[in-house]
A = this chain, B = another copy of it.
Amino acid sequence: MIGKLVFFYNLSQTIIMSQRERILDIAETSMRARGYNAVSFREIAGEIGIKSASLHYHFPKKADLGLELVKRYSENFRTALNSATENAANPIEKIEAFIDLHRNALIEQELLCLCVVLGAEARSLPEDVNSSVANFFQSNINWLTDAYQDAGFENAPSRAKAGVATLAGALIASDSLKDNSVFEAAADSVLKS
């Protein structure tokens, strides 16, 4: 068996999802829920229905899986961001879309941002995983800087740094307190001029 039939509700078509993608999906969900060090090969494999040794065929080391996970997450995040902003009427709507991506993670998916979780475990991560996480934060800061600039906000770079930090922390605090109003308060502050 090469691929498994997966029905993508929003595409209304049947596509082939590779086993590799399936592994990444499950690993991502697990790590976003419990962190890098709390997730094991056996657990991921078990959820798919294969043996942990088979996982090593796709990802020889855990660091390989972690690295690929962060890269894919960053790409998907950027893709979703582009797709959500291409019809934006103004820069403010773009920023709202940026916030929405975080809100969606917390409220719909009930998960944190992968890079926020891994960022908290930074010193126990393989080095290249770590720097990929840093890249995610930096590229988000850059993106948000541009958006603030376009919106005519003052101190766009500083505001963008604060904005990325605010959303990251809002996910953690909101999730810990099981109180989405924390996220909404944070979202407001990111939009405030």
Q: Say yes or no: B35 contacts A133, CB within 8 Å.
A: no
Q: Say yes or no: B122 contacts A175, CB within 8 Å.
A: yes
Q: Is the interface of A mostly helix, strand, loop or mixed?
A: helix
Counting from the closest, the 6 A-B pairs by CB-CB distance are: A169-B169, A168-B169, A120-B120, A34-B124, A161-B185, A38-B124
- Tell me whether A164 is interfacial, beta carbon within 8 Å: yes
A-to-B contact residues, CB < 8 Å: 33-35, 37-38, 112, 115-117, 119-124, 130, 133-134, 137-138, 141, 157-162, 164-178, 181-183, 185-186, 188-189
A185 vs chain B, min Cβ distance (A)? 4
A37 to B37, CA, bound (A): 6
A183 to B95, CA, bound (A): 21
Q: Say yes or no: A172 contacts B116, CB within 8 Å.
A: yes
| Partner pick for A176 among B38, B124, B130, CB 8 A cutoff | B130
